[in-house]
Structure 1
Amino acid sequence: MSPTLVRDYMTTDVVILRPGDAFKEIVRALADRGVSGAPVVEETGRVMGVVTEADLLHKEAFTPVAEEPRRYFASRSSTRVAQTKAAGDTATDLMSAPAITVDAEAPIARAARLMAVHGFKRLPVVGDDGALVGIISRADVVGVFLAPDDELRRQVVADVVERCLWENPERIRVQVRNGVVTLSGRLASKSLIPLTVALTRSIDGVVDVVDELSYDRDDMTSDRPEAWRCS
Protein backbone atom coordinates (compact mmCIF):
# COMPACT_ATOMS: atom_id res chain seq x y z
CA MET A 1 0.00 0.00 0.00
CA SER A 2 1.29 3.44 -0.87
CA PRO A 3 1.45 5.73 2.18
CA THR A 4 0.37 9.35 2.14
CA LEU A 5 3.47 11.43 1.57
CA VAL A 6 4.58 14.69 3.14
CA ARG A 7 4.36 16.43 -0.24
CA ASP A 8 0.63 15.66 -0.36
CA TYR A 9 -0.05 17.82 2.72
CA MET A 10 2.79 20.34 2.94
CA THR A 11 2.35 24.07 2.34
CA THR A 12 4.47 25.49 -0.48
CA ASP A 13 3.78 29.18 0.27
CA VAL A 14 6.43 29.50 2.97
CA VAL A 15 7.66 32.51 4.94
CA ILE A 16 11.42 32.49 4.36
CA LEU A 17 14.02 34.30 6.43
CA ARG A 18 17.49 35.12 5.18
CA PRO A 19 20.60 34.79 7.39
CA GLY A 20 21.08 38.55 7.64
CA ASP A 21 17.47 39.52 8.36
CA ALA A 22 17.29 41.88 11.35
CA PHE A 23 15.31 41.23 14.53
CA LYS A 24 12.49 43.62 13.69
CA GLU A 25 12.28 42.32 10.12
CA ILE A 26 11.81 38.82 11.49
CA VAL A 27 9.12 39.93 13.95
CA ARG A 28 7.32 41.82 11.18
CA ALA A 29 7.50 38.85 8.76
CA LEU A 30 6.02 36.44 11.29
CA ALA A 31 3.32 38.92 12.36
CA ASP A 32 2.31 39.82 8.81
CA ARG A 33 1.78 36.18 7.88
CA GLY A 34 0.36 35.09 11.23
CA VAL A 35 2.91 32.31 11.77
CA SER A 36 4.95 31.50 14.86
CA GLY A 37 8.15 30.47 13.12
CA ALA A 38 10.00 30.33 9.81
CA PRO A 39 13.05 28.63 8.29
CA VAL A 40 16.28 30.50 7.68
CA VAL A 41 17.33 29.70 4.12
CA GLU A 42 20.53 30.31 2.18
CA GLU A 43 20.48 31.58 -1.42
CA THR A 44 21.08 27.99 -2.54
CA GLY A 45 17.85 26.92 -0.86
CA ARG A 46 19.56 24.99 1.95
CA VAL A 47 17.82 25.29 5.31
CA MET A 48 20.24 26.61 7.94
CA GLY A 49 17.89 26.69 10.92
CA VAL A 50 14.52 27.86 12.18
CA VAL A 51 13.53 31.01 14.08
CA THR A 52 10.44 30.75 16.28
CA GLU A 53 8.63 33.09 18.63
CA ALA A 54 10.35 31.25 21.48
CA ASP A 55 13.74 32.30 20.09
CA LEU A 56 12.61 35.93 19.90
CA LEU A 57 11.30 35.93 23.48
CA HIS A 58 14.81 35.43 24.85
CA LYS A 59 15.55 39.10 24.16
CA GLU A 60 12.73 40.19 26.48
CA ALA A 61 13.51 37.51 29.05
CA PHE A 62 17.05 38.81 29.56
CA THR A 63 16.31 42.53 29.88
CA PRO A 64 17.12 44.11 33.27
CA VAL A 65 13.44 44.47 34.13
CA ALA A 66 12.72 40.83 33.59
CA GLU A 67 14.15 39.51 36.86
CA GLU A 68 11.86 36.50 37.27
CA PRO A 69 12.40 35.08 33.77
CA ARG A 70 16.13 35.73 34.14
CA ARG A 71 16.29 33.72 37.38
CA TYR A 72 14.33 30.98 35.65
CA PHE A 73 16.80 30.75 32.78
CA ALA A 74 19.78 30.98 35.12
CA SER A 75 18.67 27.74 36.73
CA ARG A 76 18.86 25.82 33.46
CA SER A 77 21.79 24.37 31.51
CA SER A 78 20.63 26.21 28.37
CA THR A 79 21.42 29.63 29.91
CA ARG A 80 24.29 30.42 27.55
CA VAL A 81 22.26 29.59 24.45
CA ALA A 82 19.37 31.74 25.66
CA GLN A 83 21.67 34.63 26.52
CA THR A 84 23.37 34.42 23.13
CA LYS A 85 20.02 34.60 21.38
CA ALA A 86 18.97 37.49 23.59
CA ALA A 87 22.01 39.43 22.38
CA GLY A 88 21.46 38.44 18.76
CA ASP A 89 20.25 40.86 16.09
CA THR A 90 20.01 38.71 12.96
CA ALA A 91 18.34 35.47 11.90
CA THR A 92 21.69 33.67 12.09
CA ASP A 93 22.08 34.74 15.72
CA LEU A 94 18.53 33.85 16.70
CA MET A 95 17.85 30.61 14.85
CA SER A 96 17.89 27.13 16.31
CA ALA A 97 20.34 25.04 14.29
CA PRO A 98 20.88 22.66 12.70
CA ALA A 99 17.34 22.46 11.38
CA ILE A 100 15.38 19.22 11.66
CA THR A 101 13.87 18.68 8.22
CA VAL A 102 11.75 16.04 6.54
CA ASP A 103 11.92 14.80 2.96
CA ALA A 104 8.99 15.62 0.68
CA GLU A 105 8.76 11.96 -0.36
CA ALA A 106 8.71 10.66 3.23
CA PRO A 107 5.49 9.15 4.65
CA ILE A 108 3.52 11.71 6.60
CA ALA A 109 3.83 9.42 9.63
CA ARG A 110 7.55 10.28 9.74
CA ALA A 111 6.74 13.98 9.96
CA ALA A 112 4.32 13.25 12.78
CA ARG A 113 6.96 11.26 14.69
CA LEU A 114 9.59 13.98 14.29
CA MET A 115 7.20 16.63 15.59
CA ALA A 116 6.21 14.47 18.54
CA VAL A 117 9.79 13.53 19.48
CA HIS A 118 11.19 17.06 19.21
CA GLY A 119 8.09 18.96 20.31
CA PHE A 120 8.00 20.99 17.09
CA LYS A 121 4.93 22.69 15.63
CA ARG A 122 6.28 22.60 12.09
CA LEU A 123 9.05 21.10 9.95
CA PRO A 124 10.80 22.46 6.85
CA VAL A 125 10.32 20.10 3.90
CA VAL A 126 13.23 19.50 1.54
CA GLY A 127 13.57 17.94 -1.89
CA ASP A 128 16.09 15.47 -3.26
CA ASP A 129 18.75 18.18 -3.48
CA GLY A 130 18.22 19.26 0.12
CA ALA A 131 16.65 22.59 -0.86
CA LEU A 132 13.49 23.89 0.82
CA VAL A 133 10.29 23.00 -1.04
CA GLY A 134 7.66 23.61 1.63
CA ILE A 135 6.70 23.35 5.27
CA ILE A 136 4.42 20.97 7.14
CA SER A 137 2.68 21.77 10.41
CA ARG A 138 0.84 19.85 13.08
CA ALA A 139 -2.42 21.05 11.54
CA ASP A 140 -1.38 19.60 8.18
CA VAL A 141 -0.61 16.21 9.75
CA VAL A 142 -3.90 16.14 11.65
CA GLY A 143 -5.60 16.94 8.34
CA VAL A 144 -4.91 13.35 7.23
CA PHE A 145 -7.76 12.27 9.50
CA LEU A 146 -10.23 14.38 7.51
CA ALA A 147 -10.34 11.79 4.72
CA PRO A 148 -14.01 11.00 3.86
CA ASP A 149 -15.39 7.71 5.17
CA ASP A 150 -16.28 6.48 1.69
CA GLU A 151 -12.71 7.09 0.50
CA LEU A 152 -11.31 5.16 3.48
CA ARG A 153 -13.69 2.29 2.77
CA ARG A 154 -12.58 2.22 -0.87
CA GLN A 155 -8.93 2.04 0.21
CA VAL A 156 -9.53 -0.77 2.70
CA VAL A 157 -11.43 -2.86 0.15
CA ALA A 158 -8.96 -2.24 -2.69
CA ASP A 159 -5.65 -2.28 -0.82
CA VAL A 160 -6.30 -4.72 2.03
CA VAL A 161 -9.10 -7.08 1.03
CA GLU A 162 -8.43 -7.43 -2.69
CA ARG A 163 -4.73 -6.68 -3.22
CA CYS A 164 -3.12 -7.97 -0.03
CA LEU A 165 -5.47 -10.77 1.02
CA TRP A 166 -6.77 -11.74 -2.44
CA GLU A 167 -10.17 -12.11 -0.87
CA ASN A 168 -13.60 -11.68 -2.44
CA PRO A 169 -14.93 -8.34 -1.13
CA GLU A 170 -18.31 -10.02 -0.63
CA ARG A 171 -16.82 -12.18 2.13
CA ILE A 172 -15.46 -9.22 4.09
CA ARG A 173 -17.76 -6.42 5.14
CA VAL A 174 -16.10 -3.02 5.58
CA GLN A 175 -17.97 -0.22 7.32
CA VAL A 176 -16.48 3.19 8.12
CA ARG A 177 -17.94 5.83 10.39
CA ASN A 178 -16.03 8.92 11.48
CA GLY A 179 -12.78 7.26 10.45
CA VAL A 180 -13.40 4.11 12.54
CA VAL A 181 -13.33 0.98 10.37
CA THR A 182 -15.42 -2.04 11.35
CA LEU A 183 -14.40 -5.34 9.73
CA SER A 184 -16.75 -8.32 9.72
CA GLY A 185 -17.17 -11.53 7.73
CA ARG A 186 -15.08 -14.70 7.42
CA LEU A 187 -11.46 -15.19 6.48
CA ALA A 188 -9.94 -18.48 5.37
CA SER A 189 -7.68 -18.82 8.43
CA LYS A 190 -7.36 -17.36 11.93
CA SER A 191 -3.85 -15.99 11.35
CA LEU A 192 -5.21 -13.61 8.72
CA ILE A 193 -7.28 -11.69 11.26
CA PRO A 194 -4.46 -9.78 13.04
CA LEU A 195 -2.81 -9.19 9.66
CA THR A 196 -6.01 -7.72 8.21
CA VAL A 197 -6.50 -5.48 11.24
CA ALA A 198 -2.88 -4.27 11.13
CA LEU A 199 -3.01 -3.51 7.41
CA THR A 200 -6.27 -1.61 7.83
CA ARG A 201 -4.91 0.39 10.75
CA SER A 202 -1.86 1.37 8.69
CA ILE A 203 -3.95 3.24 6.13
CA ASP A 204 -3.51 6.98 6.55
CA GLY A 205 -6.65 8.56 7.99
CA VAL A 206 -7.95 5.47 9.79
CA VAL A 207 -8.74 6.45 13.38
CA ASP A 208 -9.35 2.96 14.78
CA VAL A 209 -10.31 -0.58 13.72
CA VAL A 210 -13.10 -2.69 15.23
CA ASP A 211 -12.48 -6.40 14.67
CA GLU A 212 -15.61 -8.53 14.22
CA LEU A 213 -13.98 -11.05 11.89
CA SER A 214 -14.36 -14.83 12.12
CA TYR A 215 -12.46 -17.61 10.35
CA ASP A 216 -12.87 -21.02 8.71
CA ARG A 217 -9.68 -22.69 9.95
CA ASP A 218 -7.54 -22.28 13.07
CA ASP A 219 -3.96 -22.32 11.85
CA MET A 220 -2.45 -20.47 14.83
CA THR A 221 -1.17 -23.68 16.46
CA SER A 222 0.66 -24.84 13.35
CA ASP A 223 4.44 -25.25 13.52
CA ARG A 224 4.65 -23.61 10.12
CA PRO A 225 2.29 -20.63 10.03
CA GLU A 226 1.36 -19.22 6.67
CA ALA A 227 3.58 -16.42 5.41
CA TRP A 228 1.97 -13.36 3.92
CA ARG A 229 3.50 -10.34 2.34
CA CYS A 230 1.89 -7.23 0.87
CA SER A 231 3.99 -4.76 -1.10
Structure 2
Amino acid sequence: MDRSLVRDYMTTDVVVLRPDDGFKEIVRALADRGVSGAPVVSETGRVMGVVSEADLLHKEAFMPVAEEPRRYFASRSSTRAAQARSAADTAADLMHTPAITVTMDTPITRAARTMAVQGIKRLPVVGDDGALVGIISRADVMGVFLAPDEELRREVISEVIERSLWEDPERIRVEVRDGVVTLSGRLASKSLIPVTVALTQSIDGVVDVIDELSYERDDMAFARREQRRSLCG
Protein backbone atom coordinates (compact mmCIF):
# COMPACT_ATOMS: atom_id res chain seq x y z
CA MET A 1 0.00 0.00 0.00
CA ASP A 2 1.11 3.53 -0.74
CA ARG A 3 2.21 5.00 2.61
CA SER A 4 2.88 8.59 3.56
CA LEU A 5 6.25 8.96 5.21
CA VAL A 6 7.78 11.52 7.54
CA ARG A 7 9.87 12.83 4.63
CA ASP A 8 6.64 14.01 2.96
CA TYR A 9 5.62 16.22 5.90
CA MET A 10 8.75 17.23 7.84
CA THR A 11 10.22 20.72 8.03
CA THR A 12 13.87 21.04 7.04
CA ASP A 13 14.31 24.64 8.22
CA VAL A 14 14.88 23.77 11.87
CA VAL A 15 15.65 25.97 14.86
CA VAL A 16 18.77 24.36 16.30
CA LEU A 17 20.27 24.87 19.74
CA ARG A 18 23.86 24.21 20.76
CA PRO A 19 24.74 22.56 24.10
CA ASP A 20 26.32 25.72 25.52
CA ASP A 21 23.50 28.10 24.49
CA GLY A 22 22.36 30.07 27.54
CA PHE A 23 18.83 30.42 28.87
CA LYS A 24 18.14 33.82 27.32
CA GLU A 25 19.62 32.72 23.99
CA ILE A 26 17.23 29.77 23.96
CA VAL A 27 14.21 31.90 24.83
CA ARG A 28 15.15 34.41 22.13
CA ALA A 29 15.64 31.70 19.49
CA LEU A 30 12.26 30.11 20.19
CA ALA A 31 10.42 33.42 20.43
CA ASP A 32 11.95 34.78 17.21
CA ARG A 33 10.78 31.75 15.23
CA GLY A 34 7.49 31.26 17.07
CA VAL A 35 8.21 27.66 18.07
CA SER A 36 7.77 25.95 21.44
CA GLY A 37 10.84 23.73 21.38
CA ALA A 38 13.98 22.79 19.50
CA PRO A 39 16.58 20.01 19.28
CA VAL A 40 20.00 20.40 20.85
CA VAL A 41 22.62 19.37 18.29
CA SER A 42 26.31 18.54 18.67
CA GLU A 43 29.08 19.89 16.44
CA THR A 44 28.75 16.76 14.27
CA GLY A 45 25.03 17.33 13.79
CA ARG A 46 23.83 14.53 16.04
CA VAL A 47 20.73 15.13 18.15
CA MET A 48 21.63 15.21 21.85
CA GLY A 49 18.25 16.12 23.30
CA VAL A 50 15.31 18.53 23.06
CA VAL A 51 14.51 21.73 24.96
CA SER A 52 10.84 22.65 25.21
CA GLU A 53 8.78 25.38 26.85
CA ALA A 54 8.16 23.05 29.79
CA ASP A 55 11.91 22.79 30.43
CA LEU A 56 12.24 26.56 30.38
CA LEU A 57 9.30 27.06 32.70
CA HIS A 58 11.20 25.36 35.53
CA LYS A 59 13.85 28.07 35.27
CA GLU A 60 11.39 30.91 34.78
CA ALA A 61 9.19 29.85 37.68
CA PHE A 62 11.83 30.69 40.30
CA MET A 63 13.25 33.88 38.78
CA PRO A 64 12.62 37.20 40.54
CA VAL A 65 10.08 39.23 38.61
CA ALA A 66 12.59 41.95 37.84
CA GLU A 67 15.02 39.60 36.16
CA GLU A 68 12.90 38.33 33.27
CA PRO A 69 9.61 39.45 31.65
CA ARG A 70 6.68 37.03 31.98
CA ARG A 71 5.33 37.54 28.45
CA TYR A 72 6.59 34.36 26.79
CA PHE A 73 5.97 31.79 29.55
CA ALA A 74 2.98 32.09 31.84
CA SER A 75 2.72 28.75 33.70
CA ARG A 76 4.26 28.19 37.11
CA SER A 77 5.48 25.15 38.99
CA SER A 78 6.51 24.71 42.62
CA THR A 79 7.68 21.11 42.73
CA ARG A 80 11.10 20.18 44.07
CA ALA A 81 12.07 18.71 40.71
CA ALA A 82 11.17 21.97 39.01
CA GLN A 83 13.15 23.96 41.58
CA ALA A 84 16.19 21.75 41.02
CA ARG A 85 15.87 22.15 37.26
CA SER A 86 15.67 25.92 37.67
CA ALA A 87 19.40 25.92 38.42
CA ALA A 88 20.15 24.88 34.81
CA ASP A 89 21.71 27.61 32.69
CA THR A 90 22.50 25.98 29.34
CA ALA A 91 20.74 23.89 26.73
CA ALA A 92 22.80 20.86 27.76
CA ASP A 93 21.48 21.17 31.32
CA LEU A 94 17.89 22.01 30.37
CA MET A 95 17.32 19.47 27.62
CA HIS A 96 15.47 16.18 27.91
CA THR A 97 17.61 13.27 26.78
CA PRO A 98 17.78 10.91 25.05
CA ALA A 99 15.68 12.55 22.38
CA ILE A 100 12.88 10.51 20.82
CA THR A 101 13.56 10.62 17.08
CA VAL A 102 12.21 9.26 13.80
CA THR A 103 13.73 8.74 10.37
CA MET A 104 12.57 10.10 7.05
CA ASP A 105 11.16 6.67 6.17
CA THR A 106 9.03 6.36 9.32
CA PRO A 107 5.30 6.12 8.42
CA ILE A 108 3.61 9.39 9.28
CA THR A 109 0.92 7.59 11.27
CA ARG A 110 3.57 5.99 13.48
CA ALA A 111 5.12 9.41 14.11
CA ALA A 112 1.70 10.76 15.06
CA ARG A 113 1.08 7.88 17.46
CA THR A 114 4.52 8.35 19.01
CA MET A 115 3.79 12.00 19.73
CA ALA A 116 0.39 11.11 21.19
CA VAL A 117 1.70 8.30 23.41
CA GLN A 118 4.77 10.23 24.60
CA GLY A 119 2.85 13.49 25.06
CA ILE A 120 5.30 15.52 22.98
CA LYS A 121 4.76 18.13 20.29
CA ARG A 122 7.67 17.44 17.94
CA LEU A 123 10.09 14.76 16.81
CA PRO A 124 13.58 15.41 15.41
CA VAL A 125 14.12 13.58 12.12
CA VAL A 126 17.53 11.95 11.73
CA GLY A 127 19.42 10.34 8.88
CA ASP A 128 21.18 6.98 8.84
CA ASP A 129 24.17 8.52 10.61
CA GLY A 130 22.02 9.99 13.39
CA ALA A 131 22.47 13.56 12.17
CA LEU A 132 19.52 15.96 12.21
CA VAL A 133 17.82 16.39 8.83
CA GLY A 134 14.51 17.95 9.86
CA ILE A 135 11.72 18.06 12.40
CA ILE A 136 8.07 17.03 12.38
CA SER A 137 5.42 18.52 14.64
CA ARG A 138 1.84 17.77 15.62
CA ALA A 139 0.68 20.47 13.20
CA ASP A 140 2.54 18.75 10.35
CA VAL A 141 0.78 15.42 10.85
CA MET A 142 -2.76 16.67 11.45
CA GLY A 143 -3.55 16.76 7.72
CA VAL A 144 -3.10 13.00 7.51
CA PHE A 145 -6.25 12.49 9.57
CA LEU A 146 -8.46 14.77 7.47
CA ALA A 147 -9.16 12.30 4.65
CA PRO A 148 -12.94 12.05 3.93
CA ASP A 149 -14.63 8.99 5.43
CA GLU A 150 -15.87 7.74 2.05
CA GLU A 151 -12.35 7.95 0.63
CA LEU A 152 -11.03 5.88 3.53
CA ARG A 153 -13.83 3.35 3.06
CA ARG A 154 -12.97 2.89 -0.62
CA GLU A 155 -9.29 2.44 0.21
CA VAL A 156 -9.99 -0.19 2.89
CA ILE A 157 -12.13 -2.15 0.43
CA SER A 158 -9.72 -1.92 -2.49
CA GLU A 159 -6.37 -2.19 -0.68
CA VAL A 160 -7.21 -4.49 2.23
CA ILE A 161 -10.24 -6.58 1.34
CA GLU A 162 -9.64 -7.06 -2.38
CA ARG A 163 -5.93 -6.57 -3.05
CA SER A 164 -4.31 -7.94 0.13
CA LEU A 165 -6.81 -10.58 1.30
CA TRP A 166 -8.43 -11.49 -2.03
CA GLU A 167 -11.77 -11.52 -0.24
CA ASP A 168 -15.16 -10.78 -1.76
CA PRO A 169 -16.04 -7.21 -0.61
CA GLU A 170 -19.66 -8.32 -0.36
CA ARG A 171 -18.70 -10.54 2.59
CA ILE A 172 -17.05 -7.74 4.61
CA ARG A 173 -18.88 -4.60 5.67
CA VAL A 174 -16.76 -1.49 6.04
CA GLU A 175 -18.16 1.59 7.80
CA VAL A 176 -16.15 4.75 8.51
CA ARG A 177 -17.14 7.59 10.79
CA ASP A 178 -14.75 10.41 11.67
CA GLY A 179 -11.82 8.24 10.62
CA VAL A 180 -12.85 5.28 12.81
CA VAL A 181 -13.32 2.13 10.71
CA THR A 182 -15.76 -0.58 11.77
CA LEU A 183 -15.23 -3.99 10.15
CA SER A 184 -17.94 -6.65 10.25
CA GLY A 185 -18.80 -9.79 8.30
CA ARG A 186 -17.30 -13.27 8.01
CA LEU A 187 -13.78 -14.11 6.95
CA ALA A 188 -12.77 -17.58 5.76
CA SER A 189 -10.50 -18.23 8.75
CA LYS A 190 -9.89 -16.85 12.23
CA SER A 191 -6.22 -16.07 11.60
CA LEU A 192 -7.22 -13.50 8.97
CA ILE A 193 -8.94 -11.26 11.54
CA PRO A 194 -5.82 -9.74 13.18
CA VAL A 195 -4.24 -9.42 9.71
CA THR A 196 -7.28 -7.52 8.40
CA VAL A 197 -7.32 -5.20 11.42
CA ALA A 198 -3.58 -4.50 11.18
CA LEU A 199 -3.73 -3.76 7.45
CA THR A 200 -6.66 -1.40 8.00
CA GLN A 201 -4.85 0.41 10.81
CA SER A 202 -1.86 0.94 8.51
CA ILE A 203 -3.86 3.06 6.06
CA ASP A 204 -3.07 6.77 6.27
CA GLY A 205 -5.92 8.66 7.90
CA VAL A 206 -7.41 5.75 9.86
CA VAL A 207 -7.83 6.89 13.46
CA ASP A 208 -8.93 3.56 14.94
CA VAL A 209 -10.42 0.19 13.96
CA ILE A 210 -13.41 -1.49 15.61
CA ASP A 211 -13.28 -5.25 15.05
CA GLU A 212 -16.68 -6.95 14.71
CA LEU A 213 -15.46 -9.66 12.36
CA SER A 214 -16.38 -13.34 12.64
CA TYR A 215 -14.94 -16.38 10.88
CA GLU A 216 -15.97 -19.68 9.28
CA ARG A 217 -13.02 -21.86 10.30
CA ASP A 218 -10.88 -21.74 13.44
CA ASP A 219 -7.53 -22.52 11.84
CA MET A 220 -5.79 -21.19 14.94
CA ALA A 221 -7.28 -24.02 17.05
CA PHE A 222 -5.79 -26.52 14.62
CA ALA A 223 -2.39 -24.81 14.92
CA ARG A 224 -2.63 -24.95 18.72
CA ARG A 225 -3.44 -28.66 18.65
CA GLU A 226 -0.48 -29.33 16.37
CA GLN A 227 1.78 -27.35 18.67
CA ARG A 228 0.64 -29.31 21.73
CA ARG A 229 1.09 -32.58 19.85
CA SER A 230 4.68 -31.65 18.90
CA LEU A 231 5.48 -30.68 22.49
CA CYS A 232 4.11 -33.93 23.82
CA GLY A 233 5.75 -35.77 20.98
Normalised by the size of structure 2, how large is the TM-score? 0.71
Displacement of 1:169: 4.3
Structure 2 equivalent of residue 224 of structure 1: 222
Q: Which of 70, 79, 102 is equivalent to 1:73?
A: 79
Structure 2 equivalent of residue 41 of structure 1: 41
Contact 1:191 1:219 in 2 (8 A): no
Unaligned 5+ runs, structure 2: 67-75, 224-233
Unaligned 5+ runs, structure 1: 226-231
Amino acid at match of 1:59: K
Structural RMSD (CA)? 3.5
Identity %: 74
Aligned residues: 215
Question: Would you say 1:111 and 2:120 are equivalent positions?
Answer: no
Displacement of 1:23: 2.9
Structure 1 equivalent of residue 52 of structure 2: 52
Deviations 1:17-73 (A, max 9, x none): 23343433322221122111111223422112222222222333223569xx68x23
Compared CA separation, residues 98 and 154, structure 1 to 2 (3 A): same
Structure 2 equivalent of residue 146 of structure 1: 146
SS of 1:39's equivalent? strand
Question: Would you say 1:16 and 2:21 are equivalent positions?
Answer: no
Contact 1:37 1:52 in 2 (8 A): yes
Structure 1 equivalent of residue 86 of structure 2: 83
Equivalent-residue separation in structure 2 for 1:115 and 1:44 (angstroms): 26
Equivalent-residue separation in structure 2 for 1:195 and 1:95 (angstroms): 40
Equivalent-residue separation in structure 2 for 1:101 and 1:210 (angstroms): 30
Structure 2 equivalent of residue 178 of structure 1: 178
Compared CA separation, residues 42 and 168, structure 1 to 2 (3 A): same
Displacement of 1:213: 6.4
Amino acid at match of 1:73: T
- More displaced, 124-133 or 141-150? 141-150
Amino acid at match of 1:219: R
Structure 2 equivalent of residue 29 of structure 1: 29
SS of 1:167's equivalent? coil
Displacement of 1:165: 1.1
Normalised by the size of structure 1, how large is the TM-score? 0.72
Equivalent-residue separation in structure 2 for 1:125 and 1:211 (angstroms): 33
Contact 1:144 1:204 in 2 (8 A): yes
Equivalent-residue separation in structure 2 for 1:149 and 1:113 (angstroms): 20
Contact 1:10 1:135 in 2 (8 A): yes
Amino acid at match of 1:58: H
